[in-house]
Amino acid sequence: MSAPDPTSARKLAHVDVCLERPVAYRTRTTGFEAVDLPYRALPETDLASVSTRTTFLGRPVAAPILIGAMTGGSRLGATVNRNLAIAAQRTGVGMMLGSQRVMLERPDAVSDFAVRRYAPDVPIVGNLGVAQLNLGYGPAEILRAIEEVEADGLALHANPLQEAMQAEGDGDFRGLIATLRTLPQRVGRPLLLKEVGHGLDAGTVAALGDAGYAAFDVAGAGGTSWARVEALVRGDDAADEALLELGIPTAEALRAAREVAGATPLIASGGVRSGSDVAKAIASGASWCAAAMPLLRPATESPEAVEAVLHRWIGDLKIAMHACGAPDLDALASLRPVPRAPERR
């Protein structure tokens, strides 16, 4: 067997480290634990009719939950994507693919990402890194990435800290705001901007708020630290802990983005780990949530293992909505989380 190309080898190392090593933030949390949903003792709702239905990129979905961008470009990546896609279709939720750079560089990798046949009805989102836009990628590559997998749009990931921690990462992020402002119009398909777990800051969101993005995914701190993943991949025992913990907590990133995002809807991700986290995020201004890490191990096992997590979260989201008297997502979005009372010691 020939040696894998560097991009595929790195992707495999990422999955390996995420499965086997502690990649979560150690000291930072999302901030969702600091708020409560506004509980109602007489909610005037019927749990059996609470609806989590909505749409994403024009397709109906059963819940405002997306499978986060993960992987592809290896045999394991193909299995993971297949299992995620089957679960997405059966559960009725959207799926974000991992970076398609490998498939643009190596066309035989397209099959790892081509999951539309497993998920004909749900939203599928492609993925590329913004750093690639300074290395020759543009609207043509973005369109190829969308069309070759029959996606409904594509998320560009901004990841300066992750790239900086990578042995041969891309460090040149100059001029990207100007490029990103023009892309939605030049591509003519739904584009999203996401981080990878260190958070989109309000300045970035404000700079692109009127550029025509279909959504901003804040992908904040509190879940997987990609600086930590890269340090572990490199075997760097002396990494600067403060850099591995650097990022904007998801709840704070969401609050700040909501103030400046204008009409662009928001996805909350980064450490979203339960149905009640989803409820708190929607009540804090997100239109959808996404989660990656909690679905990785299940995705190496079976579609059913992924479905079990998603069903649990959707069930708990319904209970959370019922417990604060929200029969649907519009009602949930009109609520506000309340500061959590201090814990008993």
**Can you give the binding site for ligand FMN, defined by CB under 6 A?**
14-15, 18, 68-71, 98-99, 127, 157, 194, 196-197, 219, 223-224, 269-272, 291-293, 296
**Tokens in use for 57?**
């990129």
Query: Shortest Cβ distance from residue 181 to ligand FMN (Å)?
Result: 20
Whichever of 73 and 92 has its CB closer to ligand FMN, that residue is 73
Cα distances from 90 to residues 118, 122, 267, 310, in angstroms, run 10, 9, 22, 10
Nearest approach, Cβ of residue 163 and ligand FMN (Å): 12
List the structure tokens of 324: 């604060």
As given in the structure block, the two tokens for residue 320 are 């959370």
State phi, psi for 159 to the nearest 5 degrees: -145, 55
Least distance in angstroms from the C-beta of 97 to ligand FMN: 8
What are the φ and ψ backbone dihedral angles of 255, each rounded to 5 degrees? Answer: -60, -45
CA 199 to chain centre: 11
Distance CA 149, CA 97 (A): 10
Q: Which is nearer to ligand FMN, 127 or 166 (CB)?
A: 127
> What are the Cα distances from residue 10, in Å, to 43, 248, 251?
50, 26, 30
**What is the smallest separation between the CB atom of 196 and ligand FMN, expressed in angstroms?**
4
Q: Which residue from 100, 98, 119 is spatially nearest to 109, judged by alpha carbons?
A: 100
- Beta carbon of residue 202, minimum distance to ligand FMN (angstroms, whole number): 18
> Minimal distance in Å, beta carbon 98 to ligand FMN?
3
Which residue's CB is nearer to ligand FMN, number 125 or number 283? 125
Could you tell me the smallest distance in angstroms from the CB atom of residue 24 to ligand FMN?
A: 8
Chain position whose Cβ is nearest to ligand FMN: 223
Residue-wise DSSP of 185-210: HHH-S-EEEE-SSS---HHHHHHHTT
Q: Which residues pair with 124 in a beta bridge?
A: 95
Q: State which residue, 15 or 256, has the beta carbon closest to ligand FMN.
A: 15
136 sits in the region (left: phi over 0; alpha: psi -120 to 50; else beta) called left
C-beta closer to ligand FMN: residue 292 or 324? 292
CB of 124 closer than 8 Å to CB of 115: yes
When the beta carbons of 68 and 325 are compared against ligand FMN, the nearer one is: 68
CB of 277 to ligand FMN, least distance (A): 10
Beta carbon of residue 294, minimum distance to ligand FMN (angstroms, whole number): 6
Using the minimum distance from each CB to ligand FMN, give the nearer residue, 64 or 325: 64
CA torsion sign for 200, 202, 208, 209 is positive
Smaller CB distance to ligand FMN: residue 50 or 200?
200
Separation CA 226–CA 15 (nearest Å): 12
Cα–Cα distance, 96 to 290 (Å, whole number)? 9
Closer Cβ to ligand FMN, 159 or 264, answer by number: 159
Pick from 251, 159, 257: nearest CA to 202: 257
